[in-house]
Amino acid sequence: MGTASYHPEVTRSRWLLGIEVVLGIAAAGCVGSERPPSIWPPQDFLLVVDEVSQDGDAMHVLRQLRVDDRGVVVYGTSAQPLVDPQSGVSLPVFDRLSVYRLEPTSARSLARSLARLGIADWTPPARAGDGSLGLSISWRAFGRQNALGSVGRPRGRLAEILALVASYLPPGESFDAALRRPVVPVLRGVPQPRRDLEGARSALRDQLAERHDDATLLINAFALACRAGDRPAAEQLLERWVAARLAELGAELDAFADDPEDAPARQAEVLRRLLPAARQLPAVTRAAALRR
């Protein structure tokens, strides 16, 4: 499969509570040979693709593909989101997850191909939506960022971008938006996603150990902790998410002065309503604790 092939590292492959975490290595024919340094992907590279479904006034994220500058891919699907009945805010719970690392040449190819498609500057033309499924694509590289979105069948350049990204999904996985362009998988050895709540939590903890201030990972871990009923962990993750979002926005925080609904602090108020109830100790245990 050429430079975009994927090769699992046998000595480090392992099962992590039902989720196979596979790290990529160079192709056997390249072992021992030095590759020239490349600017792709840059250190700030981040790609997040969400497929969303509209349900009345609510928007539910069905699947998410996230690729960072290390070539680490976190792919998850959400069947039962957390929904705040007061605001209608829906938070996906990615309890079906696959985490893997692209071979350097594959990560480089993805980043460069996105740039060639003009993802840095392009804005999809406005048109009426023709379906309930939509896409949201966030991209960042070289200090620049862009966000793309559409409802209904992707067309033109957006379809090209989505077909490219879909080729990096685990086998058998696809975006359900009506993509009519052919998708040619470029990876092999990718772990199948497994539905495993605690395994997903553990996998995200591993990622957060290296990317402790990554807002996307933090909010996904928060949702998993809420679904698991782990309120202390969820509260801690929410605090970290707010701090991460404030750091991300920086000087842009002033933009929320006239429209505070999207400000991190206001969003956190909504997210706190999703926290699970505090676990109560049995009566006998509480009485014993009071006697201490």
**Cα(286)–Cα(292) distance, rounded to whole angstroms?**
10
pLDDT interval class at 5 (50, 70, 90):
very low
Locus of tokens 């590292």: 9
| Residue 22 clears pLDDT 50, i.e. is over it | no
264: alpha, beta or left? (left if phi > 0; alpha if psi -120 to 50): alpha
pLDDT in tens, 130-144: 567 888 999 999 999
217: closest CA among 68, 114, 69? 68
Q: What does the pLDDT read at residue 261? A: 54
Written as six digits, the tokens of 127 are 């048109």
With a pLDDT cut of 70, the percent of the chain lying above it is 74
Q: What does the pLDDT read at residue 55? A: 80
* 155: CB partners within 8 A, 6+ apart: none
Written as six digits, the tokens of 215 are 């807002």
pLDDT in tens, 216-259: 999 999 999 999 999 999 999 999 999 999 888 875 655 555 55
**Three-state SS string across the chain, please?**
CHHHCCCECCCCCEEECCEEEECECCCHHHCCCCCCCCCCCCCCCEEEEEEEEEECCEEEEEEEEEEECCCEEEEEECCCCEECCCCCCEECCCCEEEEEECCHHHHHHHHHHHHHCCCCCCCCCCCCCCCCEEEEEEEEECCEEEEEEEECCCCHHHHHHHHHHHCCCCCCCCCCCCCCCCCCCCCCCCCCCEECHHHHHHHHHHHHHHCCCCHHHHHHHHHHHHHHCCHHHHHHHHHHHHHHHHHHHHHHHHHHCCCHHHCHHHHHHHHHCCCCCCCCCCHHHHHHHHHC
CB of 64 within 8 A of CB of 79?
no
CB of 113 within 8 A of CB of 17?
no
Whether the pTM exceeds 0.75: the reply is: yes
Q: What does the pLDDT read at residue 117? A: 93
**Cα(143)–Cα(291) distance, rounded to whole angstroms?**
58
Locus of tokens 């006034």: 57
pLDDT interval class at 169 (50, 70, 90):
very high
Task: Count CA atoms closer than 13 A to 292's CA, side-chain side.
Answer: 6
Q: What does the pLDDT read at residue 255? A: 52
pLDDT interval class at 57 (50, 70, 90):
confident
Centroid of chain to Cα 5: 22
CA of 287: how far to CAs of 181, 279, 282, 284, 291, in Å?
65, 16, 9, 5, 6
